[in-house]
Amino acid sequence: MILSGIGMLIAVALPVVCGLAVNDVILRRCPLRLWTRVCLAYGTGLGRIVSWMMILSILNCRYSLAVISGPLLIFSFIVRCISQKASLGNRNTDPAYSIHPVRSVESTGLNPRLLIGAAALSFIILEVTFVFWQSLAWLPYTWDEVGNFALKAKIIYFDGHLGNVDKYTYFRGEHPLFIALTEAWAAFALGRWDYCLVKIIFPVMLVSFLGTSYFVLRCFAGRLWSLLGLVFLLSSQLLIKQASIGYADFSMQYYNSTALMLIILATTNRRSEFLVMPA
């Protein structure tokens, strides 16, 4: 149990580390809070891991935890060092370079706004907890989840490469390999194949999406309305289901919606950094 927990932590931590290294270079003149940087970094890091696994496949290198994570950690360390050296002594502290959230209405005592906010926060926590439970406790049961993602990931994990994926004719080739590669990466981090635990990637992706959405909403509204925006988002049962079973539709929504939100920030705040990140 402890080893499984450590493996899931590695599966989630490496994307964050890789994403932070890249995003901090892009956003070095735009200081953000740590939780916002972590939420944005998770998607960036997953993209780097999948891209690196595709490069390893082209180079005919067998997958393993060390082969995947080692070069990425070295790359992240080098990028971080270069970023720190470049920004040393040249850090721009002009408030114009910061993203300022909308001020919330301060209230004291028992206030209906506080009750509504507490109810909204409780609903968000409940829905996220349910997604984690369903992802980590339920075996794959839908056709796409099993035939197009989980079995592909299992083949990639045990073979250590992509060569045998196309040999199984019942797999639909039009599905991208992003989900399969991310689940295979989680299996390498775990050190074993587990149909449930490899789906840890997707509930964390939902948390990242909610954190990014809250950050963008706070740029235009107060805390209460931003929390209510997340409530409206989580009220879609289709989103909850797809985040629980790791459908490709959810990852596409995650990246496309995040890109659109960053573009909106770039246009409203005239910050070119947010135009670079979706790329």
Q: How far is CA 117 from CA 113, 124, 183, 268, in A?
A: 6, 11, 35, 27
Lowest mean pLDDT among 59-73, 161-175, 225-239, 248-262: 161-175
Whole-model pTM: value is 0.88
Write the pLDDT tens digit of every residue in 19-63.
998 888 887 777 788 888 899 999 999 999 999 999 999 898 999
Q: What is the DSSP string of 138-193?
A: SPP-SHIIIIIIIHHHHHHHHHSSSTTGGG-TTS-TTS-SHHHHHHHHHHHHHTS-
Write the pLDDT tens digit of every residue in 222-246.
889 999 999 999 998 888 988 888 8
